[in-house]
């Protein structure tokens, strides 16, 4: 390592990774005699439109007794009259004379950038010594369109963020979203960056990141993140060569931008990079006009309004004049005290029985799961879209998926019909609330990085390639694109068996299934295109990210793809 590079790394270590300073820090109003101070530090200056906000809760308990608190984070989005809400609840504690820290991810209900933001996420805290139980984290009220969510590391933001913000304020057509990031709050969980579209990071700060944080950053890029490394380092960590100025890293992109370690970044170059991709996570998850063919299989939303009108009319006749003049005539008015409740109970039972016969218990749905294999790290990127129509749900809670980014999606109106506001709840062990509602349609997107040793090997020495799969389920259609761009196919590839491929002209069957994907999977598949030395495969039901157990998945599609190991 050269002297100049060493100095940059040390500078980043002392400036960005020294005594932590959250991008936004707020304190809970506590009673002075409690001897407790609670501080909330946020990882970003503003909240993104989807994903999470990293948050560190620091509890300094100077009293001799142990104390506990219940925290409820609530973040609203959407229209003012019908806001959707994401709620996170956590139980916290601190022993006497100690300081406790909790790193949390505050969920955000997704919304596109055309919705006006209003108010700010709130924290309700109850427990020992609390004087002010409600805290507003940040007011981000504004109207108009927003830029994709952009963050900068401290070494870059100190010199470059303010001039960039002033430029957008003068322009006035868009609100610049993002700001400085507290690198210490990113931790080793890639989900902290789920709502970030573009990340500018100096190479010195990148080298100073702990191994877990660096791996999380690489996982975020692999899932479609865009990273700009500023300095003179190469992109070798992302599969690039010494002189590459940009490199595709699975679904994401990494750029190298020259920087001398002290000057302001070129604002025009930042805008060029920012405008290379205009879609955001919130736009995709809240896209109601997307032609999502696969989701349409759950059926068009339709309520039997004629039946309801007839039922309400008959109920009004029975509980009104029939009850008043026949069941409880002029000489028997006292009967109204038991005939009216009885009629109401019978009507409720009849209506519930009709609904149960029509909709049943639980529900049915469709889901499509993409397994993108990452053999170099022995992992798999799992992305899943699912849509369901529920009948009568006896329970709406399900176990919290481990290390999974789970978010609501907006269904096309032809499928969902009118949808009221929803409140989704994330607890420590279970999820509940509006993720699934009785007699309603809903959709979710789930994403995770999972350990996996699955792979596909191609032996290319003969007249036709031979494929061998270690994927746990049989592949009913496997395509391989060789180094020259030729297409090969096999109709059935069981695990562990060698299968000779036949030459074909395209990825026809795989492409047909991919075309039915929704607003999250289809752009991801399109960004991959037809890559050489990659395989593309279809499978039946395989491992998926599970949510509500009472939903029966009547169509469960799995797509597998990734780089192959080519053997001579």
Q: Does the structure show a pLDDT above 90 at 298?
A: no
pLDDT at position 10, please? Answer: 38
The single residue listed with the structure tokens 């919130």 is 282
Between CA 393 and CA 192 the distance in angstroms is 32
Q: Quick one: pLDDT at residue 94?
A: 96
| pLDDT above 70 (res 12) | no
User: Whole-angstrom Cα distance, residue 402 to residue 157?
Assistant: 33
Indicate the SS3 state at residue 470: coil
pLDDT in tens, 107-152: 999 987 666 555 568 899 999 999 988 888 765 555 567 889 999 9
The model's pTM: 0.87
Helices then strands (H, E): number in the chain?
11, 34
State yes or no: pLDDT of 564 exceeds 60: yes
User: In 10 A of CB 471, how many CB atoms?
Assistant: 24
Nearest to 369 by CA among 473, 277, 278, 220: 473
Could you tell me where the DSSP H helices lie in 197-299?
203-208, 211-222, 267-274, 281-285
Say what the pLDDT of residue 351 is. 76
Which pLDDT value is given to residue 3? 42
pLDDT of residue 340: 83
| pLDDT(307) > 80 | no
pLDDT of residue 13: 40
Contact 480, 466 (CB under 8 A): no
Q: Are 254 and 240 in contact (CB under 8 A)?
A: yes
**Mean pLDDT in residue range 295-315:** 73
Q: For residue range 38-62, what is the model confidence (pLDDT) as tens digits?
A: 999 999 998 898 999 999 999 999 9
What distance in Å separates the CA atoms of residue 42 and residue 248, rounded to the nearest whole number?
30
pLDDT tens digits, 533-544: 999 999 977 789
Q: What tokens appear for 277 in the block?
A: 């991709």
Domain ranges (residues) in the chain: 3-285, 361-568
Residues 212-269 have pLDDT tens digits of 999 999 999 999 999 999 998 889 889 888 788 999 999 999 999 999 999 999 999 9
Q: Which residue has the tokens 């200056």?
A: 45
CA distance 278 to 534: 27
């Amino acid at each position: 390592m050269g002297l100049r590079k060493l100095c940059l790394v040390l500078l980043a270590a002392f400036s960005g990774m020294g005594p932590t300073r959250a991008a936004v820090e707020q304190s809970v109003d506590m009673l002075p005699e409690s001897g407790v101070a609670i501080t909330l530090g946020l990882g970003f200056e503003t909240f993104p439109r989807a994903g999470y906000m990293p948050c560190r809760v620091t509890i300094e308990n100077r009293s001799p007794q142990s104390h506990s608190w219940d925290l409820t984070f609530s973040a609203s989005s959407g229209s003012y009259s019908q806001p959707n809400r994401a709620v996170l609840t956590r139980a916290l504690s601190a022993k006497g004379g100690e300081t406790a820290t909790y790193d949390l991810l505050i969920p955000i209900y997704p919304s596109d950038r055309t919705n006006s933001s209003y108010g700010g996420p709130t924290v309700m805290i109850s427990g020992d010594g609390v004087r002010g139980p409600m805290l507003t984290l940040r007011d981000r009220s504004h109207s108009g369109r927003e830029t994709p969510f952009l963050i900068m590391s401290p070494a870059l933001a100190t010199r470059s963020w303010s001039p960039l913000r002033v430029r957008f304020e003068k322009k006035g057509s868009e609100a610049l979203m993002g700001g400085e990031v507290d690198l210490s709050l990113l931790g080793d969980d890639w989900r902290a960056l789920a709502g970030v579209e573009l990340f500018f990071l100096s190479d010195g700060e990148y080298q100073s990141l702990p191994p877990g944080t660096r791996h999380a950053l690489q996982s975020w890029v692999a899932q479609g993140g865009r990273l700009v490394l500023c300095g003179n380092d190469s992109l070798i960590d992302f599969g690039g060569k010494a002189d590459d100025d940009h490199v595709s890293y699975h679904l994401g992109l990494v750029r190298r931008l020259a920087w001398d370690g002290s000057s302001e970044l070129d604002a025009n170059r930042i805008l060029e990079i920012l405008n290379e991709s205009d879609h955001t996570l919130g736009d995709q998850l809240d896209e109601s006009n997307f032609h999502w063919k696969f989701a349409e299989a759950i059926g068009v939303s339709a309520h039997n309004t004629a039946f309801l009108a007839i039922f309400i009319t008959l109920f009004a006749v029975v509980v009104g004049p029939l009850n008043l003049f026949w069941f409880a005539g002029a000489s028997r008015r006292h009967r109204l005290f038991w005939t009216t409740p009885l009629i109401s109970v019978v009507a409720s039972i009849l209506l519930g029985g009709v609904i149960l016969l029509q909709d049943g218990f639980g529900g049915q749905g469709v889901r499509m799961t993409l397994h993108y294999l990452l053999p170099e790290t022995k992992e798999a990127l799992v992305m899943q879209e699912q849509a369901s129509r529920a009948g009568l749900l006896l329970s709406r809670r399900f176990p919290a998926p481990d290390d999974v980014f789970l978010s609501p999606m907006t269904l096309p109106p032809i499928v969902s019909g009118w949808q009221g506001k929803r409140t989704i709840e994330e607890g420590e062990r279970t999820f509940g609330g509006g993720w699934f509602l009785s007699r309603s349609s809903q959709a979710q997107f789930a994403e995770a990085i999972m350990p996996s040793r699955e792979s596909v090997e191609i032996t290319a020495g003969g007249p036709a390639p031979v494929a061998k799969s270690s994927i746990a389920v049989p592949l009913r259609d496997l395509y391989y694109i060789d180094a020259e761009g030729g297409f090969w196919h096999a109709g059935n590839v069981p695990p562990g068996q060698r299968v000779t491929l036949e030459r074909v002209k395209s990825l026809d069957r795989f492409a047909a299934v991919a075309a039915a994907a929704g607003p999250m999977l289809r752009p991801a598949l399109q960004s991959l295109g037809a890559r050489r030395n990659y395989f593309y495969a279809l499978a039946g039901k395989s491992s998926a990210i599970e949510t509500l157990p009472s939903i029966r998945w009547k169509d469960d599609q799995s797509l597998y793809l990734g780089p192959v190991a080519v053997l001579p």
